[in-house]
A = this chain, B = another copy of it.
C-alpha cells in the first residue's frame, strides 16, 4: 500500500470516467462543470454537513441516495454557485440538471448525484448546466488528464488541485482508491451520515473499484471521515454544502471481506488524511499549518473540544502567523473550551520545546520555540493531564491575507 498526492502514475480505479467543461458559471470563465460517470453504476455512501441550512443539491442528493438504496451512475458538480438559500426555484433547477444528466449519460434520474459550491443565495443558472451537457459527455475519459480536469473544475478559491490515491494489493490484484477535494475557506466540516440534518463547501469525491455494498461503504467512510475531514478547521465556519461521497465500481473484482477490510480501510484513511491536509495547507491566506495534538484528556470528544477552542481562537491564530510562542493564549483558549482540567497538571509543547508546565512558563529558550514556529508546519501538544484519551486536529494561522480574500469576495 502506498499513498501519493498526484495522479501521474496510471493507477486510477477502474470503472469510472471523468470530464469537465466551461459552462459559464464562474465569473472567471474557467472550467466550472465536472462529471464523474460509472458506466456500469457504482455503490455509494455519502456524508453531509450538520448545518441546518442546506443547499438544493444536498437535499436532492440525499433524496436520490435514499431512492436508489445507494447507487450512483453520474456525479454532477458545478463550482461558482452554491445553489443554497435559493428556495424551490433552486430545487427545481437542480432537478432539471439531474434530468438532463440522466438522459445524457443513460441512467435513471435518481442515479445522478448533484453537488454545487460557490456563492450562497444567488439564483442557480440551471440552464447553463443543461446547455453544457453534450460537451460534458464529449469530455469524458479515464486517463489521468481526465481525472485532473475533474479535480480542477470543482475548485473555487483553491489555489491548487487536491487529489490523493492509494493502491491495495490483494493476491496480486490491485484495488485502487482515488480522491479529489476542493475547499479553502468556510472550512470546519462537521459531517454526519444522511440520517442527521444535512449540508458542504468542502466537496470530496472518493472513487474505488472495490466491490462493496452501500452500507459497508458508509461504515468505512464514517470512520475515515472522523479523523480526517471532521478533524480540520481553517476558519471555523461550517458550510451549507459540505459533502463527502464514496463510490465503489466493483471493477477490480475484489470483494470487501474479513481479509480485505483492514488494508482497504487503512488505505481509505490515508487518502482522506492526505486530502484533509491538502485542504488546510491551501486554506485561505495560510502561512502555517498547525497540528494540535491534545493528549491526557478524559475522552476523545473532550480532546477535540479543547482542540477546536484553540483552532478557532483568533488570538492563537494571529500569534501563529508571526511565529510568536504565546502559549498564554493557548492555555486561555483551553480554559474557556468548557472542558474541565487542572491547569497546574497541564503541559504545552511547541514542537519538542516544552513551554508550559506545572501551571507556569517552562524553562525554555524563546529562540528555540520561535525556530519551530518559523517552519511551514509543526505540532503543538497540549497535555491536559486528566486522562488517557487524545486527538489530532489540523488547523492553520490567521493572516491579513485571509481578511483580504474574504472582505473582497463580494456578493
Contact = CB atoms under 8 A, between A and B. Distances in A.
Contacts of A314: 235-237, 314, 398, 402, 406
B315 A185 contact: yes
A407 B335 contact: no
Interface string A383-411: 00000000000000011101110111111
Contact of A332 (B237, B336, B360): B237
Contacts of A22: none
B407 A324 contact: yes
A41 to B, nearest CB: 33
A89 B335 contact: no
Chain A: interface size category: 35 or more
A335 B52 CA distance: 5
Interface stretch (A79-87, A172-180, A223-231): A79-87
Interface in A48-70: 49-54
Interface in A301-356: 312-315, 318-319, 321-322, 324-329, 331-336, 339-341, 343-344, 356
Interface string A90-127: 10000000000000000000000000000111110000
A199 interface: yes
Nearest to A334: B53
Contacts of A319: 406-407
A40 interface: no
Contact of A322 (B89, B340, B400, B410): B410
Given A343-B85, A359-B85, A120 B328 contact: yes
Interface string A162-175: 00000000000000
Contacts of A237: 313-315, 329, 332-333, 336
A240 interface: yes
Contacts of A343: 52-53, 85
A336 B327 CA distance: 29
A122 B328 CA distance: 9
A190 interface: yes
B403 A321 contact: yes
A361 interface: yes
A359 B329 contact: no
A95 B257 CA distance: 67
B403 A332 contact: no
A406 B51 contact: no
A319 B407 CA distance: 5
A295 interface: no
Contacts of A399: 403, 407
13 contacts: A52-B343, A53-B334, A54-B335, A82-B328, A85-B331, A119-B328, A236-B312, A237-B313, A318-B403, A322-B410, A328-B411, A399-B403, A403-B403
Interface of A: 49-54, 82, 84-90, 119-123, 185-186, 190, 199, 235-240, 312-315, 318-319, 321-322, 324-329, 331-336, 339-341, 343-344, 356, 358-361, 366, 398-400, 402-404, 406-411
Given A85-B328, A319-B406, 13 more contacts: A86-B361, A87-B344, A87-B360, A121-B361, A239-B332, A240-B332, A312-B312, A314-B402, A319-B407, A321-B407, A322-B408, A326-B411, A399-B407
